[in-house]
Structure 1
Amino acid sequence: METTNGVDKVVTKKNGFHKGPMELYLVRISPACRAVWLYVIQNEIPHLLIDVDFSKGPKQLPPVFRNQPHQEVPLLVDGEIIVFEAQAILRYLSMKYTASAGFGLSLQTQMLCESVISWSFGELLRSVGYLYVFPQFLEGYSFSPESANEVVVEKGLRQVTTHLEILENNYLEKSKYLTGSKVTVADTCAASVLVLLEWTGFSFKMWPKVDSWLTRVKQQMFWDEVHTTHNDFVGELERANLVQR
């Protein structure tokens, strides 16, 4: 174990050369980044976290981004292999390092897990994040004039409730988790998106199965550690009286 700038990292030897851990580039408030980070920690995969600040402009991004056509996070660099998009990163990690740990035992469960992950960071995130939550709090995602922004937010809310109905009456009708009786990466990904609703003080009381499921998923080991930035931001919104409880 070596320590550099306060960051612990595992160093292994291959053919007599030192090879450091993979690098995970992330923005900690991002649902997709949090899901990947949680998977890495839970499966004890040696890694180095590198925070990315897009607000400083492309010239200030880490060097690995300069030759990438998709300058986005999460981004994983494992030796000569570069992987972007959370779903692809999770698949890569499960194939190379964990023998599909967290994706279920059967092929049927694994494929359902993959499908839910894709849905979580696609349709669900568009509705929860880009249409409902972000336009209310992040200037870069709001619409002008204000009346147009309100229309977008209302549309987002309608879509959010539709997704919650699907989770309540289909996935969780007879199961504790989205793919069966045990928590999988699918649960982590969907929950990492849904907790964005905490920015608004959203109540899940109309969807009791979803509410209970979300509580169970948040009890996973390392969940609180990975969601520290998210929780701190929610706390700031509450202190500013921007969250209605």
Structure 2
Amino acid sequence: MAGRKAVEVYLDLLSQPCRAVQIFLRCTEIPHKVNLVALRKGENQSSDFTKLNPMQKVPVMVDNGFVLTESDAILKYLATKYNAPDHWYPRQPEKRAKVDEYTAWHHTNTRAHAAKVFILEVLLPRMTGQPTEQTRVQNALVDLNGTLDKLEDMFLKRQPFLCGDDISLADLLAICEIMQPLGGGRDILQDRPKLLRWKSRVQSALKDSFDEAHTVLYRLRDKSKAKL
């Protein structure tokens, strides 16, 4: 990689997909530079950032002038371009297709449903000053529990990780979403031993990069608990 610039990424670590990108870069030791973009301060709406990503969303990656948005695309690009260990995004077509199967499902299931609980319990009350709408939260939890059932019964089955015997991009994207409701003090896995064992395996595989990326979320969790 001589002569190449380090990959630049623009992240807000309260964002689940941003955490996934940072964890992947740390785990694979791809040379990179992190530029923090504080969504809560509207930094994603600046003219410079809007030129980079007109959608004004994070994460964004810049690799030697090549700009890419969307975490799924970024992770698969990095895994392929920088020859990451094969378990992340396997080259063998059937194994790769199983990762693609999960990531296609992820956006309207794990991501949508875990994020909604966090939005209802944390973001909306902070933005509006209004109390949490418990009925909406309970409805969101019903949807989320349906998704967690599918993770257990369809994806994990009797295997240690979502797509097989080793950690992949599927597990990385999933765990970052499943952690998000913790920002409101809610552990959605506390009554799910199968998923808790999976989480432990994922956390062990990711080592220190897991807790590093979740520091902001842990602080939010602690503030939430302090209010109780």
Return the TM-score normalized by structure 1: 0.81
Matches within 5 A, 1:7-156: 14=3, 19-57=4-42, 61=46, 63-66=48-51, 68-98=53-83, 101=86, 102-104=88-90, 106-130=92-116, 132-139=117-124, 149-156=133-140
Equivalenced residue count is 224
Aligned-partner Cα distance in 2 for 1:179–1:103: 10
Name the aligned partner's letter for residue 181 of structure 1.
D
Q: 1:89 to 1:65 in 2, by over 3 A?
A: same
Q: Deviations over 1:23-67 (max 9, x none)?
A: 100011111001111111111111110010233346863724335
**Rg larger for:** 1
Hey, which bits of structure 1, 4+ residues long, moved more than 6 A?
140-147
CA contact (8 A) 1:178 1:186 kept: yes
Aligned-partner Cα distance in 1 for 2:60–2:125: 22
Aligned-partner Cα distance in 2 for 1:89–1:206: 33
Question: Sequence identity, in percent?
Answer: 24
Q: 1:224 to 1:68 in 2, by over 3 A?
A: closer
Task: Say whether residues 1:177 and 2:161 are aligned partners.
Answer: yes
Task: Say whether residues 1:163 and 2:150 are aligned partners.
Answer: no
- Larger strand proportion of the pair: 1
Name the aligned partner's letter for residue 236 of structure 1.
K
Aligned-partner Cα distance in 1 for 2:125–2:67: 28
- Larger helix proportion of the pair: 2
Name the aligned partner's letter for residue 79 of structure 1.
N
Aligned-partner Cα distance in 2 for 1:34–1:234: 16
Q: Which residue of 1 aligns with 2:227?
A: 240
- SS in structure 2 opposite 1:139? helix
Name the aligned partner's letter for residue 98 of structure 1.
N
- For residue 217 of structure 1, report the CA deviation from its aligned partner: 1.0
CA contact (8 A) 1:134 1:142 kept: no
Aligned-partner Cα distance in 2 for 1:190–1:115: 13
Question: Alignment RMSD, CA only?
Answer: 2.6
- For residue 135 of structure 1, report the CA deviation from its aligned partner: 1.1
- SS in structure 1 opposite 2:220? helix
- SS in structure 2 opposite 1:137? helix
- For residue 133 of structure 1, report the CA deviation from its aligned partner: 1.9
Q: 1:139 to 1:103 in 2, by over 3 A?
A: same
- SS in structure 2 opposite 1:122? coil
Return the TM-score normalized by structure 2: 0.86
Give 5+ residue unaligned stretches, structure 2: none
- SS in structure 2 opposite 1:29? coil
* RCO higher in structure (CA 8 A, sep ≥6): 2
Aligned-partner Cα distance in 1 for 2:217–2:192: 23
CA contact (8 A) 2:185 2:222 kept: no
